[in-house]
Amino acid sequence: MVHYTVETKLNVHDAVNTLEKVLKSEQFGVLWQFDIRTYLNELMTVNLKQMCNRIINKIINNLEKFFFSNYELLGLMAVSGMRDEAKIK
């Protein structure tokens, strides 16, 4: 296993650009870049939306059960189609 460390006072963006230029001058190429900060933010956003959708659907399921089991008592008609609208987009 090889370990090689270089310290720099450049910010991340400038350090990456400099590294790409040096690699290109040595006839190496960069196939892809992985921005961990952006990836984690996207992952957190997706997970938060999924969690909110689960909570909303649980609330709606409980409301449907309540209304369907008590609609005569409450004098209400059963509401249909609530689940289709309960999504965060």
**Tens digits of residue pLDDT in 23-73:** 889 888 878 777 778 888 887 787 788 888 888 888 887 777 776 666 555
Confirm whether pTM is higher than 0.75.
Answer: no
Q: Where does the pLDDT of residue 77 fall: very low under 50, low under 70, confident under 90, or very high at 90 and above? A: very low
How far apart, in whole angstroms, are the C-alpha atoms of residue 62 and residue 68? 10
User: How wide is the angle at C-alpha 56 spanned by C-alphas 54 and 60, nearest 5°?
Assistant: 115
What 8-state DSSP symbol labels residue 9?
Answer: S
**Domain map of the chain by residue range?**
12-85
pLDDT confidence of residue 10:
92
Q: Please give the span between the terminal C-alpha atoms of the chain, in angstroms, as a whole number.
A: 46
